[in-house]
Amino acid sequence: MNDTAAAGTGMAAASGGRRRWLGGAALGVLLLVGGGYFARAYVHYRAHEATDNAFIEGAVVQVSPRVPGHVVRVTVADNQHVAAGTLLAEIDPQDFQTRLDGGRAALKAAEAQLRSVAADVASVRKTAVAAVEQARGGVEAADAAVEQARAAAEVAEVEATRAQADLGRYDNLFKTGGITASQLGQYSAQARAAAAALRVAQRRVTASVAQTREARAQLAGADIADERIGKAEAEQARVVAELERLKAEVRQAEQDLSYTRIYAAQAGTVTKKAVEAGNFVRPGQALLGIVGDEKWVVANFKETQVERMRPGQSVRLHVDAYPDLALTGRVDSIQRGTGARFSLLPAENATGNYVKVVQRVPVKIVFDGALPPAVSLSLGMSVVPEVLVR
């Protein structure tokens, strides 16, 4: 009985020792695994910066008309994907086409008027130049006639003087009986003829001078042609200016007509369509929006997280809408200003009591490569980025 009890007591002691050893071993394993986990978590924490204040962003183009009018048709629907250049809507073009036709007709009339005025300018210039040349030729001929008449008058004057002197000598000879009365009469006739020739030459000089004055008066009248040319050229310049104005109006009318067809400026998805056929629209009125195909992430990190953050660093992205989807990207840029600084009403920290608040710095993150076709990211979706800053 005593031996049996002693044996039972020994076996119980051995069993308790094994349990204590197993418990200690299990605790050691747990401590080792936990330490490894926490060590790994610490290393990961030190090498990454993460935030849940991040959202999907993209380019949104608000489509609005550039001319007023009634919409005759809309060719897209909400949430429809469109390519760049796709026709979205059309405004009634009739009024704009009529305006363009009227402008083109006025332009043709102005072009015809310009051709007529140009012909008038050429005709006036040609006639005026010919008249001036003719008048100058008349002045030159008259001046030559005056010179010739004056030269002839000088010769006649010399001849008359000589004939009068000879008459005086022959008259003295007649008185002394040196010549006959018949000879004296002959010399007297020669003197009268020379005097008459002198008077004729002098009259020719007077007439030539008068002709010269008349020729110069004609030349002065011909010079007025420059004024006629100036007036014709001024009219031509006015028509040219009017033609340029009409060309500008035609170009504007062509643009306005083209604006009646509204096209997509970028590829993307139609959102917030607020136009239907029959609506009257005005310039600047929002008709619909197009969300571009390219998406990126804007993560608002705390200012204490961006110390080691640099463009080009790799990022792991977790989208709340797709929890099983693993996406990667890289830091594209870091905004040079906090979100509060660029808000609608920035804080005035220089007034009143100041309470320090940790600021957020927007960081733009772009995706690596194209997104999977089955993934449809909408603007504003929540994202959790982890930036490898090591």
pLDDT higher for 17 or 285? 285
For the question of whether the overall pTM of this predicted structure is more than 0.85, the answer is: no
Q: What is the mean pLDDT of the chain?
A: 84
User: Stretch 143-171: mean pLDDT, rounded?
Assistant: 77
Q: Quick one: pLDDT at residue 35?
A: 61
User: Stretch 270-298: mean pLDDT, rounded?
Assistant: 95
pLDDT tens readout for residues 351-371 = 777 888 899 999 999 999 888
Q: Is residue 2's pLDDT more than 80? A: no
Amino acid at 177: G
Q: How confident is the model at residue 1 (pLDDT cuts 50, 70, 90)?
A: very low
| Three-point CA angle 161, 166, 153, nearest 5° | 20
Task: Choose among 342, 336, 351, 260: nearest CA to 72.
Answer: 260
Count CB neighbours of 218 within 10 A.
Answer: 18
Give bridge partners of residue 367 from the DSSP assignment: 329
Q: Is residue 16's pLDDT more than 70? A: no
Q: How confident is the model at residue 11 (pLDDT cuts 50, 70, 90)?
A: low
Give the chain's length: 390
d(CA 372, CA 286): 32
Q: Quick one: pLDDT at residue 74?
A: 97
Superfamily of domain 98-254 in CATH is Helix Hairpins (1.10.287.620)
Q: Is residue 105's pLDDT more than 90? A: yes
Q: How confident is the model at residue 132 (pLDDT cuts 50, 70, 90)?
A: low
pLDDT higher for 332 or 151? 332
Sorted by where each begins, the domain ranges of the chain are 49-91+268-390, 98-254
pLDDT higher for 378 or 160? 378
> For the ranges 10-14, 44-48, 87-91, 158-162, which has the lowest average pLDDT?
10-14
User: Stretch 253-277: mean pLDDT, rounded?
Assistant: 95
* Range from 121-130, 132-141, 221-230 that averages highest in pLDDT: 121-130
Q: Is residue 15's pLDDT more than 70? A: no
Supply φ then ψ for residue 159, to 5 degrees: -65, -40
Q: Quick one: pLDDT at residue 166?
A: 74
CATH class in words for 49-91+268-390 = mainly beta
d(CA 379, CA 54): 11
Which two three-digit tokens encode residue 183? Answer: 């000879």
Q: Is residue 128's pLDDT more than 60? A: yes
Q: Quick one: pLDDT at residue 333?
A: 96
Q: Do domains 49-91+268-390 and 98-254 have the same CATH topology?
A: no
